[in-house]
Structure 1
Amino acid sequence: MGGLSIWHWSIVSLLLLLNLIYIPAVRKAGFSGWWVVLSMVPIVGLVLLWMFAFARWPAQPER
């Protein structure tokens, strides 16, 4: 029926607020907080998750 209702905007707002929780973890790993925003793009999110999973953390000792 065309157009976005208040429920659509409230769900989008809730998802954005929930993603704010992940910013400190991403910043602790040494990446920009904008990675959280980019992770919401479908294919880009998978690539970023893969890069984040195998990245060296600053607190991790070198082998």
Structure 2
Amino acid sequence: MIIWLIIAALTIIPMFKLLPHFGINAYWAFVCVIPIGTIALLWFMAMKLQELEKR
């Protein structure tokens, strides 16, 4: 359980700082508590990055 909390914290903190740069509310970083949430946020960030590159 402690290892899971450490891994969650190590993913939530960077996401909390990165998400606003992609136009996503920073509080969505707490979705990283579940593993599929991290994958979904990375996917949304990639989609936003693709949109920004098209401009």
Q: Which has the higher contact order (CA 8 A, sep 6+)?
A: 2
Report the 3-state secondary structure (helix = DSSP H, G, I; strand = E; otherwise coil) of the residue aligned with 1:54. helix
Superposed displacement of residue 20, structure 1: 2.0
What is the total number of aligned residue pairs between the two structures? Answer: 50
The one-letter amino acid of 2:26's match is G
CA RMSD of aligned residues (A): 2.4
* 2:20 maps to 1:27: yes
TM-score, normalized by length of structure 1? 0.52
The one-letter amino acid of 2:16's match is I
Aligned residues of 1:27 and 1:33 also touching (Cα < 8 A): yes
Larger helix percent: 2
Superposed displacement of residue 39, structure 1: 2.2
- How much identity, in percent, do the aligned residues show? 20
